Chains A and B, each alone.
Chain A
Amino acid sequence: MADYERRNNGYRGGGGGRKRRYRDDEDFDRRPQRRRYEEPLFVQVRRQLLTIAESVCSAFPHPTARHCLNTNARCATSQAARRVEDDIMRIAQSVAENSEDPDMRDTFVNISLDLVLEQPMKIPFVAATSLVVYNLKAELGVEILKKAGEALQKHIDSGSWREVKLLLRFLGGLQPLFEGNGVFALLEELFNRAVDLQTTSSEDLLGLELVKIILFTIPYVMASPATGFESQALALLEKTDIIASTPHALVDLVNTFGPQEHQDAAGPSLISLLQGQLQTEAEQGWELKCLPRPWKGVQEIEKDDQEPGQNPFEPVNKIAFPDITVPTSVPHGARPLFPEIYLSVYANQDIDTVPPTSNVASSLLRDALVDTINLLDFNRVAVAKYLIDVDCYFTPYIFVKRATPFDRMRDLAGEALAWKPEDVAVDAVFSQLFQLPTPEHKLVYYHSLLTECCKIAPAAIAPSLGRAIRFLYNSLETMDVELSARFLDWFTHHLSNFGFTWKWSEWIDDLELPTVHPKMAFISGALDKECRLSFAQRIKGTLPEPYLPLIPDIKEDEAPGFKYLSELTPYAKEGQELMQLIRKKASDEEIQPVIAAIEEQAQGLGVEDPKVPSTDALMTSICYVGSKSLSHILSCIERNKDRLLSIGAVSETARRQIIASVMEYWAGQPGVAIDIIDKLLNYTILTPTSVVEWALSDSMAAGTVLAKSYIFEMISATVGKVTNRMRQIVAARIQPGLYEPQLSVLEETLERERAAMQSLFKFIEDSVVSVAAGSNDGLMERGDGSGDLPEDDLIRQWGRRWLRAFRRKLAVEEAFITGALANATQVGTVAPSQPEAPVPGEGPDGDVHVPDADGQ
Chain B
Amino acid sequence: MSLLKINTVDRLDRPSAYYAGKQKRRRYNDREEDRDREREKEDELAKLQNATTLYVGNLSFYTTEEQIHELFAKCGEIKRLVMGLDRFEKTPCGFCFVEYYNHQDALDCLKYIGGTKLDERIIRTDLDPGFEEGRQYGRGKSGGQVRDEYREEYDPGRGGYGRAYDELRRAEEQYGSGR
Interface of A toward B, CB cutoff 8 Å: 1-4, 50, 111, 113-115, 117-119, 151, 154, 160, 163, 375-382, 441-445, 447-448, 451, 489, 493, 496-497, 499, 532-535, 629-631, 669, 671-672, 675, 678, 852, 854-856
10 A-B contacts (beta carbon < 8 Å): A4-B18, A113-B3, A375-B1, A378-B11, A380-B111, A444-B108, A493-B74, A533-B70, A675-B73, A855-B102
Complex Cα distance, B103 from A855, in Å, reads 11
Q: Which residues of B contact A378 (CB under 8 A)?
A: 7, 9, 11-13, 111
Q: Verify B75–A671 contact, CB threshold 8 A.
A: no
Tell me whether B120 is interfacial, beta carbon within 8 Å: yes
CB contact between A671 and one of B18, B57, B66, B119 (< 8 Å): that residue: B66
Q: Verify B9–A448 contact, CB threshold 8 A.
A: no
Q: Which residues of B contact A377 (CB under 8 A)?
A: 111-112
Q: Verify B69–A1 contact, CB threshold 8 A.
A: no
Q: Verify B66–A675 contact, CB threshold 8 A.
A: yes
Q: Which residue of A lies closest to B104 (CB)?
A: A855
Q: Which residues of B contact A154 (CB under 8 A)?
A: 3
Q: Which residues of B contact A163 (CB under 8 A)?
A: 2
Q: Which residues of B contact A114 (CB under 8 A)?
A: 3-4, 6-8
Complex Cα distance, B64 from A535, in Å, reads 10
The digit string for B53-65, where 1 denotes a CB below 8 A from any CB of A, is: 0000110000011
Please provide the chain B residues from 1 to 53 with a CB less than 8 Å away from any CB of chain A in the complex.
1-4, 6-13, 18
Q: Which residues of B contact A532 (CB under 8 A)?
A: 66-67, 70
Q: Verify A118–B111 contact, CB threshold 8 A.
A: no
The digit string for B146-173, where 1 denotes a CB below 8 A from any CB of A, is: 0100010100000000000000000000
Complex Cα distance, B18 from A2, in Å, reads 12
Closest approach, in angstroms, between the C-beta of A699 and any C-beta of chain B? 23
Q: Which residues of B contact A489 (CB under 8 A)?
A: 74
Closest approach, in angstroms, between the C-beta of A314 and any C-beta of chain B? 29
Tell me whether B90 is interfacial, beta carbon within 8 Å: no
CB contact between A379 and one of B12, B67, B70, B120 (< 8 Å): that residue: B12
Q: Which residues of A contact B75 (CB under 8 A)?
A: 442, 444
Given A118-B7, A163-B2, A378-B13, verify A854-B79 contact (CB < 8 Å).
yes
Complex Cα distance, B6 from A114, in Å, reads 9
Interface of B toward A, CB cutoff 8 Å: 1-4, 6-13, 18, 57-58, 64-67, 69-71, 73-77, 79, 81, 83, 101-102, 105, 108, 111-113, 116-120, 124, 147, 151, 153
Q: Verify A629–B112 contact, CB threshold 8 A.
A: no
Complex Cα distance, B12 from A445, in Å, reads 12
Closest approach, in angstroms, between the C-beta of A44 and any C-beta of chain B? 16
Q: Which residue of B lies closest to A448 (CB)?
A: B112
Q: Verify B111–A496 contact, CB threshold 8 A.
A: no
Q: Which residues of B contact A493 (CB under 8 A)?
A: 71, 74
Closest approach, in angstroms, between the C-beta of B144 and any C-beta of chain A? 14
Given A4-B18, A856-B76, verify A672-B8 contact (CB < 8 Å).
no
CB contact between B10 and one of A151, A379, A533 (< 8 Å): that residue: A379
Complex Cα distance, B108 from A534, in Å, reads 23
Complex Cα distance, B108 from A669, in Å, reads 28
Closest approach, in angstroms, between the C-beta of A10 and any C-beta of chain B? 10
Q: Verify A630–B81 contact, CB threshold 8 A.
A: yes
Q: A118-B9, A671-B70, A855-B105 are in contact. List 7 more A-B contacts (CB 8 A).
A: A4-B18, A111-B8, A381-B12, A382-B10, A443-B74, A444-B74, A497-B117
Q: Verify A3–B151 contact, CB threshold 8 A.
A: yes
Given A442-B108, A444-B74, verify A496-B102 contact (CB < 8 Å).
no
Closest approach, in angstroms, between the C-beta of A283 and any C-beta of chain B? 37
Closest approach, in angstroms, between the C-beta of B172 and any C-beta of chain A? 13
Q: Which residues of A contact B11 (CB under 8 A)?
A: 378-379
- A-B pair number, CB within 8 angstroms: 127
Given A3-B147, A117-B4, A631-B81, verify A445-B66 contact (CB < 8 Å).
no
Q: Which residues of B contact A443 (CB under 8 A)?
A: 74
Q: Verify A382–B9 contact, CB threshold 8 A.
A: yes
Q: Verify B116–A451 contact, CB threshold 8 A.
A: yes
Q: Which residues of A contact B6 (CB under 8 A)?
A: 114
Q: Verify B64–A854 contact, CB threshold 8 A.
A: no
Q: Verify B113–A444 contact, CB threshold 8 A.
A: yes
Q: Verify A50–B8 contact, CB threshold 8 A.
A: yes
Complex Cα distance, B124 from A445, in Å, reads 16
Closest approach, in angstroms, between the C-beta of B145 and any C-beta of chain A? 10
Q: Verify A151–B64 contact, CB threshold 8 A.
A: no
Q: Which residue of B lies closest to A669 (CB)?
A: B66
Given A382-B9, A671-B66, verify A445-B108 contact (CB < 8 Å).
yes
Q: Which residues of A contact B71 (CB under 8 A)?
A: 493, 533
Q: Verify B112–A1 contact, CB threshold 8 A.
A: no
Q: Which residue of A lies closest to B122 (CB)?
A: A1
Q: Which residues of B contact A380 (CB under 8 A)?
A: 12, 111-112
Q: Which residues of A contact B77 (CB under 8 A)?
A: 678, 854-856
Complex Cα distance, B101 from A678, in Å, reads 14
CB contact between A533 and one of B1, B2, B67, B108 (< 8 Å): that residue: B67
Given A380-B111, A497-B117, A630-B66, verify A151-B76 contact (CB < 8 Å).
no
Q: Verify B12–A534 contact, CB threshold 8 A.
A: no
Complex Cα distance, B74 from A443, in Å, reads 8
Q: Verify A497–B116 contact, CB threshold 8 A.
A: yes
Q: Which residue of A lies closest to B107 (CB)?
A: A378
Q: Which residue of A lies closest to B101 (CB)?
A: A854
CB contact between A444 and one of B12, B112, B147 (< 8 Å): that residue: B112
Q: Which residues of B contact A4 (CB under 8 A)?
A: 18
Closest approach, in angstroms, between the C-beta of A186 and any C-beta of chain B? 20
Closest approach, in angstroms, between the C-beta of B156 and any C-beta of chain A? 13
Q: Verify A119–B74 contact, CB threshold 8 A.
A: no
Most A Cβ at <10 Å: residue of B1, B2, B76: B2
Closest approach, in angstroms, between the C-beta of B152 and any C-beta of chain A? 8
Q: Which residue of A lies closest to B120 (CB)?
A: A499
Complex Cα distance, B79 from A630, in Å, reads 12
Q: Verify B111–A445 contact, CB threshold 8 A.
A: yes
Q: Which residues of A contact B124 (CB under 8 A)?
A: 1
Q: Verify A447–B69 contact, CB threshold 8 A.
A: no
Q: Verify B117–A496 contact, CB threshold 8 A.
A: yes
Complex Cα distance, B113 from A631, in Å, reads 22
Q: Which residue of B lies closest to A383 (CB)?
A: B9
Q: Which residues of A contact B69 (CB under 8 A)?
A: 630, 675
Q: Which residues of A contact B79 (CB under 8 A)?
A: 854
Q: Which residues of A contact B117 (CB under 8 A)?
A: 496-497
Q: Which residues of B contact A497 (CB under 8 A)?
A: 116-117
Closest approach, in angstroms, between the C-beta of B75 and any C-beta of chain A? 6
Complex Cα distance, B10 from A50, in Å, reads 12
Closest approach, in angstroms, between the C-beta of B100 and any C-beta of chain A? 8
Complex Cα distance, B91 from A478, in Å, reads 47
Complex Cα distance, B10 from A381, in Å, reads 10
Q: Verify B66–A448 contact, CB threshold 8 A.
A: no
Q: Verify A376–B9 contact, CB threshold 8 A.
A: yes
Given A114-B4, A118-B7, verify A672-B66 contact (CB < 8 Å).
yes
Complex Cα distance, B112 from A631, in Å, reads 25
Q: Which residue of B lies closest to A720 (CB)?
A: B77
Q: Which residues of A contact B81 (CB under 8 A)?
A: 630-631
Most A Cβ at <10 Å: residue of B7, B57, B77: B77
Most B Cβ at <10 Å: residue of A117, A378, A447, A671: A378
Q: Verify B76–A117 contact, CB threshold 8 A.
A: no
Q: Which residues of A contact B108 (CB under 8 A)?
A: 441-442, 444-445
Closest approach, in angstroms, between the C-beta of A54 and any C-beta of chain B? 11
Q: Verify B101–A855 contact, CB threshold 8 A.
A: yes
Given A151-B3, A445-B108, A451-B116, verify A119-B8 contact (CB < 8 Å).
yes
Q: Verify B3–A117 contact, CB threshold 8 A.
A: yes
Closest approach, in angstroms, between the C-beta of A497 and any C-beta of chain B? 5
Complex Cα distance, B101 from A445, in Å, reads 19
Closest approach, in angstroms, between the C-beta of B19 and any C-beta of chain A? 13
Complex Cα distance, B70 from A489, in Å, reads 11
Complex Cα distance, B2 from A114, in Å, reads 9
CB contact between A534 and one of B73, B112, B120 (< 8 Å): that residue: B120
Q: Verify A631–B83 contact, CB threshold 8 A.
A: yes
Complex Cα distance, B110 from A379, in Å, reads 10
Given A444-B113, A445-B111, A533-B70, verify A115-B64 contact (CB < 8 Å).
no
